[in-house]
Structure 1
Amino acid sequence: MTDFAAEKDRASGWFRQLRDEITAAFEGLEDSHTEGPFSDMAPGRFEVTETTRQSDDGSDAGGGLMSVMRGGRVFEKVGVNISTVYGTLGEAAQKAMAARGVPGIEQNPRFWASGISLVAHMQNPHCPAVHMNTRMFWTPNAWWFGGGSDLNPCIEYDEDTAHFHATQKAYLDPHGADWYPRLKAWADEYFYIPHRKRARGVGGIFMDDQNSGDWAADFALTQDIGRAFLPAFVPLVEKRRVQPFTEGDKDTQLIHRGLYAEYNLVYDRGTRFGLATGHDANAVLMSLPPMAKWL
């Protein structure tokens, strides 16, 4: 297998472009929220921090940008991170990759990975929390894409769930009619919390280890997963951010955030990989809510 240098550049460049589009759209939501709860607050803005990763010998091993907005009119906390990291996988990560069927990883544990990761926790409990990420992973003997997005409302609205899923289906259908039902079922399985015997939210789409042998086709699919995010999510925020809420609604939100935190700390594959490979812990744990509650 070649080094895939051009493909790596295209993928990492796309993740940066998507990040820029999303952060601009979210700051636009902050500016346009002029009526309803929290509208008297100053509009939120992203704080951008460079992140770095070092290998065990102290050499540069990549990094990225951590963009976090806190205490805005619409978003209580939202992070939109991008990273491109590389180096040599540790023994535990090698074994995990080998168990997933990655060929030759224990003999040649070099890797390169790039992606975008987003988690939004909202001020108004009627606005759903949301997660999105897409990524490309490369080793000397394999490459693949992964990611998706899922909706996590604490107060569910059937019409919001229907819109979120219908938008994702519309972006996936040009790649083949079987893609949406496959990725929806995968999300339902992946975002399930066994110890609670329930789903984390109302689902979405998810894939991992996607390698059809056609890099361009898989990259195009990954791009459309990313492109679907804003039209799937933003209309829900615009509709729900003006609704009044009660203390009981806020309590429901905090309890649901506890559920979200449990999943991300115990089961999320991206969290485990980021910590195991030495990436900036603050960036890896960006997904955790600013406040949560347990019964």
Structure 2
Amino acid sequence: MTDTDDDRKRRAANWFRSLRDRITAAFEELEDADAPGPFADLPPGRFDVTPTTRTAEDGSDAGGGIMSVMRGGRVFEKVGVNWSEVHGTLAPRAQAAMAARGVPGMADDPRFWASGISLVAHMRNPHVPAVHMNTRMFWTPHAWWFGGGADLNPCIEYGEDTAHFHAAMQGACDAHEAGRYGRFKAWADEYFYIPHRKRARGVGGIFYDDLNTGSWEDDFAFTQDVGRAFLPAFVPLVERRRIHEWTDADKQVQLVHRGLYAEYNLVYDRGTKFGLETGHDANAVLMSLPPEAKWP
């Protein structure tokens, strides 16, 4: 007996939500751990969890999700880990963009369903890299696909940190297909490039979209492995760098780099545009923006 589309949607949405739960728990454990530093006397940060809603143009319920944001922690200055499950009819602009990407049937039938997890972490210590991760499933009456990835965004780069992060992403890719890591790394390098600054926003990772090999089970399994790889890729870097002393000059470098991150997300990021154009909760869509930034 094979899964129906509704079965697949439920399995995917439940997986993304369970990943959110594991990541928020792990991040609160990092807040609880003792470590020296100027914020050691602060109470450990905790996530504020609120429901989000999406309202269709006719006013009907079109799904929603969970927004989990921690602000002012000892380790995380601001971090959001959001889960969503939304459905409805795409607005004309989003429909046209999907059709232009070659989504089957989208030009004539704008119905959709989507679920996923989206994470962005901005850190207290400038030596700890910021990070982004998301995985998602998208469905239309004529097609389905998965997308996602993760990329590291240090303002002060350490080669060993970059190597560790990429090794974890490569492990997730290599378990499924030789050569996939190379393609998805190159895709991330292209996708996370900021043309008006003529530079990348970070040191990369992997990015993929429109993944439909013909086997839903295989593509779902790969997307789960990408999600599972995130904590082993990132947590050791936090534990390694959070104890570093830092200066006011280091903080200024971090604030300028955050400005670069904000520029990318507001001008180029596909997920930001999709979320705003489909009427999802604006606070949840824009949770990726840093708590404080600076421009030269």
Question: TM-score normalised to the size of structure 2?
Answer: 0.98
Distance 2:149 2:202 in 1: 14
Provide the secondary structure at the position in 2 that maps to 1:86: strand
Equivalent in the alignment of 1:38: 39
Distance 1:31 1:16 in 2: 23
Equivalent in the alignment of 1:97: 98
Distance 2:247 2:239 in 1: 19
Output aligned runs, 1:29-68, within 5 Å: 29-68=30-69
Provide the secondary structure at the position in 2 that maps to 1:133: strand
1:33 is displaced (CA, Å) by 3.3
Provide the secondary structure at the position in 2 that maps to 1:228: helix
Equivalent in the alignment of 2:275: 274
> What 5-or-longer segments of structure 1 have no aligned partner?
none
1:34–1:40 Cα contact (<8 Å) kept: no
Equivalent in the alignment of 2:6: 5
1:3 is displaced (CA, Å) by 6.2
1:160–1:236 Cα contact (<8 Å) kept: yes
1:256 is displaced (CA, Å) by 0.0
Provide the secondary structure at the position in 1 that maps to 2:88: strand
1:24 is displaced (CA, Å) by 0.2
1:90 is displaced (CA, Å) by 1.1
**Which amino acid is 1:119 matched to?**
V
2:125–2:242 Cα contact (<8 Å) kept: yes
> What 5-or-longer segments of structure 2 have no aligned partner?
none
1:37–1:242 Cα contact (<8 Å) kept: no
Distance 1:193 1:95 in 2: 24
1:174 is displaced (CA, Å) by 1.1
- Residues 222-249 of structure 1: CA distance to partner in whole angstroms, max 9, x if unpaired? 0111111000000000010011000000
Equivalent in the alignment of 1:213: 214
- Residues 10-51 of structure 1: CA distance to partner in whole angstroms, max 9, x if unpaired? 100000010000000000000003323311111000000000
- Residues 160-217 of structure 1: CA distance to partner in whole angstroms, max 9, x if unpaired? 0000001111222110121111111110010000000000100000000111110000
1:145–1:211 Cα contact (<8 Å) kept: yes
Equivalent in the alignment of 1:152: 153
Equivalent in the alignment of 1:106: 107
2:155–2:257 Cα contact (<8 Å) kept: yes
Provide the secondary structure at the position in 1 that maps to 2:105: coil
Output aligned runs, 1:1-295, within 5 Å: 4-295=5-296
Q: Count residues with an aligned counterpart.
A: 294
- Residues 46-101 of structure 1: CA distance to partner in whole angstroms, max 9, x if unpaired? 00000000101110000000000000000000000000000001111111000000
Supply the RMSD in Å over aligned alpha carbons. Answer: 0.9
Runs of 4+ with >6 A deviation: none
Distance 2:150 2:173 in 1: 13
Identity level (%) = 74
Distance 1:253 1:204 in 2: 20
- Residues 99-128 of structure 1: CA distance to partner in whole angstroms, max 9, x if unpaired? 000111121111000000000000000000
**Which amino acid is 2:172 matched to?**
Y
Distance 2:211 2:171 in 1: 20
1:168–1:225 Cα contact (<8 Å) kept: yes
Distance 1:5 1:48 in 2: 27
2:35–2:243 Cα contact (<8 Å) kept: no
Distance 1:167 1:90 in 2: 37
Distance 2:168 2:106 in 1: 37
Distance 1:81 1:14 in 2: 13
2:12–2:137 Cα contact (<8 Å) kept: yes
Distance 2:98 2:28 in 1: 38
- Residues 126-167 of structure 1: CA distance to partner in whole angstroms, max 9, x if unpaired? 000000000000000011000000000000000000000011
1:37–1:124 Cα contact (<8 Å) kept: no
Provide the secondary structure at the position in 2 that maps to 1:132: strand
